[in-house]
Structure 1
Amino acid sequence: MSDRVRTTLGALELPNPVLTASGCGGTGRELAQFFDLSRLGAFVTTSVMAQARAGRPTPRVTETPSGLLTAMGLPGPGIETFLERDLPWLIEQDVRVIVSLAGNSVEEYGDLALRLRHVPGVAGIEVNVACPNVEDRGRMFARHPSAAAAVVRAVRAHARPGVPVLAKLAPDVTDIVTIALACVDAGADGLTLINTLEGMAIDPGTLRPGLTGVSGGLSGPAIRPVAVHCVYQVHAALPSTPIVGVGGVASGLDALEFILAGASAVAVGTALFHDPNAGPRVLRELEEALAARRIARLADAVGLAHKPAGYVPPQVRPQEPEKETL
């Protein structure tokens, strides 16, 4: 793999910018049947909570045009089983592991970060703030700058120094830039944009909502324009803050679009369900897209869409004039 696609998320150096989106790669064992996980820039785990959760009853997944609606309810084995069974296996695969954390109170997030503090092999922490706050009538942390900031502050205070903390933000808010600023002020080293959009579908056969929980999170290509816009807005306000772009990445050109908007990395999610090899494929296509545009380094493409028309980055190799033939 060439140095063309190397990138960084705070203090974390990655060989390439393609990650898995939280909740879409299982424990990693599922994807490892198809490719070597070390080929990814990093593997982002399913959101880990303090206790084991069965999640919501079925049906909790339904397809929509160019998208997927899910209402999983964050099922998982809990932090202890994750640390005993899943994390050691991932470390054995020589993959950089970003652990996603979810909780229902600020204290719970802090306790989870503390539990990871002395665990080797944790390359980064992604804070999933799209969870109901039991201390605030169940309103999502992600929809309030002060609540999201409180969670980030607790995680940053308890996480191991030097381990990047990324805040994963929801798009269905009044002003995502305000929330992003609050999270960075609270100690976030980077941001993941975006989480799913809330939506619903009604089954014309049963005449009832398609999901048991009525509404769910919309993901896939349908939300990519929203995600790109969020990345563009936040990068304009926080140009030095690393961003992981998420939302409908299914090709190298999709990834390039996020990078031009201001992302330093991208995460592949819904595409994995029908193409488990999507991660390596997106990376290959991204390298080809950069080469075709004579962009020597991925870093030179980050935020390029913000530059004035006619701007040529210093690392772009100019087109050589065609030689005349006799």
Structure 2
Amino acid sequence: MSMVLAFITDSPSAARVASATLLMGRALGMRARFVHYGAEGSAGTARVRAVIDSADASVGRRDVADDEGASPVLDVRAVEPRTDRAIHACIAELKPTLVVIGAVQRERTLRDVFGSTARRVAQRSPCSVLLVSTRGREPGAWSRLLMGVEDGPHGRSLGGWMLHLARACGERSTLCLAHERKELARGGEEALNPPGVVRLDVGLDSGQLYGMAAERHQLADFAESLETQGVRIEAVTLPGRPGQEIARYAEDTRADVLGLVAPARPLGLLSRLLSHPVLLVLEHLPCAVLLYRPAASTESGVAS
């Protein structure tokens, strides 16, 4: 069965991770499971268990046919010298559809170079990953979602996930579709208002107008390919450096979750040297970041 698997620590971010995990499980109709590296019976493990129970009571879950009414599973495992390797081994063992892990916005100097445990997991995980930021609104108050638009089935699958999440977040939720374009000068972004209607600028030359109008038609076509009923949809074009611009926009608009399609392959040193857009977003981490990996689309009934 499809599973949301969270790696949770005895830390101030535990409540955020627990709430986000259960919210995603409710949104996607998947059971939630938690893994904690610590000692069974310790005070830290007891605190983690209490946090999960509290989040379960407040968030609630969408019923799952063969697991109805069950509490989330907490799997306590022995502490490993290399937490990231232990996490990757656990992912290979349990084969989740989505992994949830907490992450801080800024790292210490050495971690800025080599990456934190959370970022290393996000870069190398074979499945989708949700990094829960320590900043911004609590998951229970999430309402503004942002996703990078990518043509093709994987982009639409991510769109499906984001719409499920928006509905789980409540009636006031908004999903903003963002298209990044490297060639345009910064400052030309415009929202589609109302949803699905292309609004053109009159203060641009014909070349800029043609390109931007085409992008807006593309955004409108993408929105129409999704089942958006019950969710407020916005759209924006973001000229500038891919990855950097959408992270900046997420921060400026106080987005709660930023969704992106990530490559199925691991993002290693070459991707870092070439400034892959996903890595630029992970370095900035303006909010919670959902990386959708194509492999997940074969395991989830709600992926598309």
What is the TM-score when the length of structure 1 is the normalising length?
0.30
Counting helix residues as a fraction of each chain, which structure ranks higher?
A: 2
Higher relative contact order (CA 8 A, sep 6+): 2
